[in-house]
Homo-oligomer: A and B are copies of this chain.
Amino acid sequence: MDPAGSMGMAPLAAWPALGGIGRAWMGGPAHKDGKVMHPDLLNPDLKELQYAVRGELYLKGEELRKAGKEIIFTNVGNPHALGAKPLTFPRQVLALVAAPFLLDHPKVSEMFPSDAIARAKKLLVDFKGGIGAYSDSKGNPVVRQEVADFIEKRDGFPANPENIFLTDGASVAVRLALEAMIRDSDDVVMVPIPQYPLYSASIALYGGSLAGYYLDESQGWSMDMNSVRQVIKDQRSKGKCVRAIVYINPGNPTGQCLSYANLQELIKFAHEEKVVLLADEVYQENVYQDKLPFVSSKKVLMEMGGDAARDVELISFHTVSKGSPGECGLRGGYAEFTNMHPDTMAELYKAVSINLSPNTVGQVSMSLLVNPPKPGDVSYDQYKQEREAEIASLRRRAHLVTDGFNAMEGFSCNFVEGAMYAFPKVEIPAKAVEKAKSLGKSPDVFYCLRLLEETGISTVPGSGFGQKEGTFHLRTTILPREEKMKEFVEKFKKFNEAFRKEYA
């Protein structure tokens, strides 16, 4: 963030004789074309950040869609866009809190079940002024208590609603944590490679540094603690201050689930090395095998007990966008802060206050996710059936996609243990690599662009997430509906065969 950085000049400090003249002297307030917000004069951190999930492939896909081509958007975990239906009960309640006058209509009980009506009435008491009023900046206190109860039930340890912030999706919560902890480029956040680019983009935007630790593809994308420890050692030898380690469990884009023992090691590491744990647990309901069920970091931390349970700073994130609701558009999320300094909580509260209030519909959705119908409620059976059916279907699709890729020449793909994505390794023929380079493109970008143009399948190249030098990957969601999945796999396979033939 040195004042002259964006102009490639020495920092102002090197020009003591010019002290007080500063930027106005260096070319005036506007670019020579007259634009004040000229791209050359923007915040350099903003310019530097990259965000592949909505990058070249996405833009190309949008362009083809506008031109009339049918696009299968498997580039982003957006289940409803591919035909997933919302859960009925939460949407009944949402309709009633959106239109409270329906509750006075004589026909309301013909259109809505009694428990949805009762729940809407309760929410309209909890949300003073209804969903049209700002809530507290960290979210409605009743919903925060419901989240705390959900966490307690999940983990077997109490949670404090004052340490829970409701946010417009988990992304906003992640960015809040990063913005608070990053002071400048000497501050480092450790991030898995491959990673979800929310992390790299936000770290760049806030002027920090990223240090990647590689997940081990040959071991089902597991985390190798020796390599994690090596990274922090290397960073420190460069004089950097490692502030936090991010991990995504279940993994995005890699789909692995972390074991209890692995989480224990991570906590031990955080305790010894004094780093904050950033636990991205938004896929906690998306688990497709029984060997590694989801375990929260909070639970493992509390079960470890001792100093660690009192000391280790943990921030965990959850959302209504994933799991069985898949309510991406409603933007409901939360962060739970564990073992934070009380004055830091006050600073975070102040920071979220600038936006006044997270959206109330997202908060209501979070309430319905963490406090769903109970056995005996009118809607219980249907609700339970809908949730289980969606996860069971995703489990079948996880197998279909993994098996599909592993049957393709040049592909190898770890089983999708959880989350919503497959991240296969793709061998790209030498001639295709050459061709890509001649076009100034990364070979995986070239492959994905050709796939998109020829099949309409929109994926994200591995380079957007990070991958070992010399290897190529791509990320696809496992979200096409089951009835479409066979077609998806076949189209993909056919393309791959033709591509390999073309560049053999």
Contacts and interface: CB of A to CB of B under 8 A. Distances in A.
Interface of A: 1-3, 5-6, 11-13, 20-25, 28-30, 33-39, 41-44, 46-47, 49-51, 53-54, 62, 76, 78-84, 86, 88, 91-92, 94-96, 98-102, 105, 107-108, 110-111, 127-137, 168-169, 171-172, 175, 179-187, 198, 201-202, 205-207, 236, 238-244, 273-276, 311, 313, 325-331, 340-341, 343-344, 346-347, 350-351, 353-362
Given A183-B44, A355-B169, A240 B24 contact: yes
Contact of A131 (B107, B131, B329): B329
B29 A273 contact: yes
A58 to B, nearest CB: 8
A354 B171 contact: yes
B81 A356 contact: no
Contact of A134 (B36, B86, B241, B329): B329
Contacts of A168: 168, 331, 355, 359
Given A1-B1, A13-B13, A355-B169, A274 B327 contact: no
Contact of A135 (B24, B329, B343): B329
Given A21-B239, A24-B240, A240-B22, A42 B134 contact: no
A91 to B, nearest CB: 5
Nearest to A365: B132
A440 B114 CA distance: 55
A253 B497 CA distance: 66
Given A181-B42, A187-B23, A133 B102 contact: no
Given A99-B94, A183-B6, A1 B329 contact: no
A38 B341 contact: yes
A39 B344 contact: yes
Given A35-B344, A36-B276, A171-B355, A1 B183 contact: yes
A46 B183 CA distance: 9
A7 to B, nearest CB: 10
> Which residue among A21, A81, A98 has the maximum number of chain B CB atoms within 10 Å of its CB?
A98
B46 A179 contact: yes
B330 A131 contact: yes
Contacts of A91: 98-101
- Nearest 9 A/B pairs, CB to CB: A22-B239, A329-B360, A54-B353, A95-B99, A81-B129, A80-B129, A80-B132, A30-B274, A331-B359
